[in-house]
Amino acid sequence: MWTNKSGHGLDMLVWVPPPPSLTVRTPTTNTMRHSMDGANGTPAPTQTLTFKEDTLLVIETKTTLGLTKTPGFNKTQGTGAGKLSDLQAKIGLDSGGWSKAKMLEVDPNVQDKLNAIEDAVALGKIKFLHAQVFFDSQGALSKTVGNGSGIQINTW
């Protein structure tokens, strides 16, 4: 996991047996993408994604406290695929905290995970998602979003 450049959340790679399917929002505008579903009129359409076994989910998260809109994309923000490539390049160059020695200190099985990322990319078993986490003004998860979970998941 790593903090995104705007500091509003974490970007994470999740390699777990995903649910066989997941219903996600498919926003058609940036206003719809960054806002609490339905806050600006029509709710975003949804799509049910069906996952292959051992799919790697790349999830960018953004959070907001007491608002109906998450922070917009910043000028350096690209796609999930671009972020993953950037991360792989940093690991390959032993850049900053992404050196293999540093990662091995935290996780002795890191090489297996790096191999799983490469396999997922090569086999097309990868999905990029954008999760928005909404908190109310008291810091609790917003009950008005995501069937009370406080989380909206979008296609990238």
pTM: 0.72
CB atoms inside a 10 Å sphere around CB 130: 24
- Mean pLDDT over residues 8-13, rounded? 56
* Mean pLDDT estimate for the chain: 80
Cβ–Cβ under 8 Å, residues 45 and 26: yes
With a cut of 50, say whether residue 118 has pLDDT above it. Answer: yes
Q: Which of 73, 85, 83, 82 is nearest to 8 (CA)?
A: 73
Cβ–Cβ under 8 Å, residues 45 and 28: yes
pLDDT-derived band at 26 (thresholds 50, 70, 90) equals very high
Cβ–Cβ under 8 Å, residues 135 and 142: yes
d(CA 77, CA 69) in angstroms, rounded, equals 17
- Residue 156 tokens read as 């990238």
pLDDT at 63: 80
With a cut of 50, say whether residue 106 has pLDDT above it. Answer: yes
Cβ–Cβ under 8 Å, residues 90 and 96: yes
pLDDT digits (tens, 9 = 90+) for 54-95: 788 877 777 888 888 776 665 656 677 777 888 888 888 887
